């Protein structure tokens, strides 16, 4: 965990909400200079901060509406830092909690050098990353619709179908399956929604790929050089990383990607692991999928997995392979080099 420890004459902690901001400015001695509630607008914020520009740092907790504050600070040459919501326990603890108290705690954490930093994602790629995450939710919803069709077939004790409802012909084959008109209308609703979602997803995926070729085409094609990595996996890794330069070491990248487990120790005793879900869930999914797809039609990779299974279970062997692929991606993007299987598994 990284903490902000740069010294400034003034520190501004903002308890951020969609329609309001509670602003607390303290000096380097910890004395309150401003402590007030304002409406969330750039004009109100610049009126408060303008006397301190060049001598102040602004910090907020990471939540859904931090984008405009980060862009506002950049446009006005104000240093901005983003707080990691999971680690800001000093805000959420305490007997009393409200916006006024929280804003002062944020400012105090910044002054004391204990403000936990989160990554301020680049503005030019931010909206495309959000669109890619939205696509994932739509894919999950489409899977729920397909599962409902399958469950309805089981409910009425009909023969199990082997159709892939992703395709129009398969969906048409499901029409008129049920004699009861209300049941068929229920299934038709699922099929129509699946068709519409698939059509929209295809457009979104093509759009995101075009954006990736504008934002970072070199890294996108480097990722596609890995066997088993297709369009979606490459886009997910590309946009969840942003720029690989933000990671100082491969260990920090692996930790952020949830590819390692951290030991919990105290007084020389080990208490297992903790913090396994701290990090980027999208990268964890991408590297887990990559490990499985990398094994397809790859005898060398399968032999390597069997070698790992001699000293661990298959699940742990797959996790180890995912970790190794994650390290491989880090060095590929750092050195701008294509995938080399001999360096991965020998």
Task: Identify the pLDDT of residue 167.
Answer: 93
The percentage of the chain sitting over the pLDDT mark of 70, rounded to a whole number, equals 100
**Domain termination site, one of 215, 242, 261:** 215
* 221 in any annotated domain: no
Task: Identify the pLDDT of residue 107.
Answer: 96
Task: Identify the pLDDT of residue 261.
Answer: 83
The arithmetic mean of pLDDT across residues 225-245, rounded, is: 96
**Which tens digit of pLDDT belongs to each residue from 161-210?**
889 999 999 999 999 899 999 999 999 999 999 999 999 999 999 999 99
* 220 in any annotated domain: no
Q: Whose CA is closest to 17, among 135, 107, 99, 83?
A: 99
| Enclosing domain of residue 19 | 3-118
The percentage of the chain sitting over the pLDDT mark of 90, rounded to a whole number, equals 86
Task: Identify the pLDDT of residue 259.
Answer: 95
**Domain termination site, one of 64, 90, 118:** 118
Backbone conformation region of residue 282, classed left if phi is above 0, alpha if psi is from -120 to 50, else beta: alpha
* 278 in any annotated domain: yes
* 114 lies in the same domain as 134: no
* 97 lies in the same domain as 140: no
Q: Please answer whether residues 15 and 99 qualify as being in contact, where contact means their C-beta atoms are separated by less than 8 angstroms.
A: yes
The answer, yes or no, to whether residue 67 has pLDDT greater than 80, is yes
Average pLDDT, the chain: 94
Two tokens, residue 87? 């680690």
The answer, yes or no, to whether residue 317 has pLDDT greater than 90, is yes
* 62 lies in the same domain as 140: no
Task: Identify the pLDDT of residue 172.
Answer: 93
* 250 lies in the same domain as 337: yes
* 151 lies in the same domain as 236: no
* 204 in any annotated domain: yes
The arithmetic mean of pLDDT across residues 118-147, rounded, is: 96
**Which tens digit of pLDDT belongs to each residue from 21-54?**
999 999 999 999 999 999 999 999 999 999 999 9
* 272 in any annotated domain: yes
pTM for the full predicted model = 0.90
Q: How many domains are contained in the chain?
A: 3
The arithmetic mean of pLDDT across residues 324-340, rounded, is: 96
* 239 lies in the same domain as 150: no
* 131 lies in the same domain as 209: yes
What's the CA gap between 33 and 48, in Å, rounded?
A: 11
The answer, yes or no, to whether residue 247 has pLDDT greater than 90, is yes
* 96 lies in the same domain as 192: no
Task: Identify the pLDDT of residue 313.
Answer: 95
* 225 in any annotated domain: no
* 90 in any annotated domain: yes
Task: Identify the pLDDT of residue 181.
Answer: 94
The answer, yes or no, to whether residue 133 has pLDDT greater than 90, is yes
The answer, yes or no, to whether residue 346 has pLDDT greater than 80, is no
CATH number for 76: 3.30.420.10
Task: Identify the pLDDT of residue 212.
Answer: 96
Task: Identify the pLDDT of residue 115.
Answer: 95
What confidence category does residue 267 fall into, taking pLDDT thresholds of 50, 70 and 90? confident
* 109 lies in the same domain as 137: no
What confidence category does residue 250 fall into, taking pLDDT thresholds of 50, 70 and 90? very high
Q: For residue 197, count other CB atoms closer than 10 A to its CB.
A: 17
Q: Among all chains, which residue has been given the structure tokens 């048409």? A: 172
What confidence category does residue 5 fall into, taking pLDDT thresholds of 50, 70 and 90? very high
* 131 lies in the same domain as 47: no
Cβ contacts of residue 49 below 8 Å, gap of 6+?
12, 56, 58, 76, 78
Two tokens, residue 249? 């070491």
**Domain termination site, one of 118, 152, 175:** 118
- In degrees and rounded to multiples of 5, residue 31 shows phi and psi of -85, 135
> Looking at the DSSP assignment, which residues form a beta bridge with residue 26?
11, 32
The answer, yes or no, to whether residue 269 has pLDDT greater than 90, is no
* 112 lies in the same domain as 40: yes
* 142 lies in the same domain as 169: yes
């Amino acid at each position: 965990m990284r903490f902000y420890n740069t010294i400034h004459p003034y520190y501004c902690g903002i308890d951020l909400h969609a329609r309001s901001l509670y602003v607390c400015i303290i000096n380097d001695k910890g004395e309150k200079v401003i402590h007030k509630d304002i409406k969330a607008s750039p004009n109100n914020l610049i009126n408060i901060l303008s006397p301190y520009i060049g001598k102040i740092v602004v910090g907020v907790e990471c939540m859904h509406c931090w984008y405009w504050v980060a862009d506002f600070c950049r446009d006005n040459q104000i240093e901005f830092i983003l707080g990691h919501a999971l680690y800001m326990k000093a805000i959420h603890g305490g007997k009393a909690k409200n916006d006024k108290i929280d804003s002062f705690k944020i400012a105090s954490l910044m002054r004391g050098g204990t403000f936990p930093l989160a990554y301020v994602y680049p503005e030019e790629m931010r909206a495309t990353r959000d669109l890619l995450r939205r696509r994932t939710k739509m894919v999950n919803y489409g899977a729920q619709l397909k599962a409902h069709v399958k469950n309805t077939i089981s409910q009425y004790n009909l023969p199990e179908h082997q159709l892939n409802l992703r395709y129009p012909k398969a969906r048409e084959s499901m029409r008129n399956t049920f004699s009861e008109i209300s049941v068929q209308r229920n299934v038709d609703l699922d099929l129509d929604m699946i068709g519409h979602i698939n059509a929209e997803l295809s457009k979104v995926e093509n759009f995101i790929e075009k954006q990736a070729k504008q934002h970072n085409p070199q890294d996108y094609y480097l990722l596609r050089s890995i066997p088993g990595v297709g369009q979606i996996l490459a886009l997910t890794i590309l946009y969840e990383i942003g720029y690989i330069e933000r990671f100082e070491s491969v260990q920090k990248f692996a930790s952020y990607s949830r590819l390692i487990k951290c030991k919990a120790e105290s007084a020389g005793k080990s208490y297992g692991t903790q913090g396994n879900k701290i990090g980027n869930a999208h990268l964890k999914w991408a590297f887990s999928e990559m490990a499985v797809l990398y094994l397809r039609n790859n005898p060398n990779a399968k032999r390597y997995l069997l070698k790992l299974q001699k000293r661990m279970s298959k699940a742990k062997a797959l996790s180890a392979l995912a970790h190794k692929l994650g390290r491989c991606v880090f060095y590929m993007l750092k050195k701008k080099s294509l995938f080399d299987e001999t360096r991965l598994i020998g």
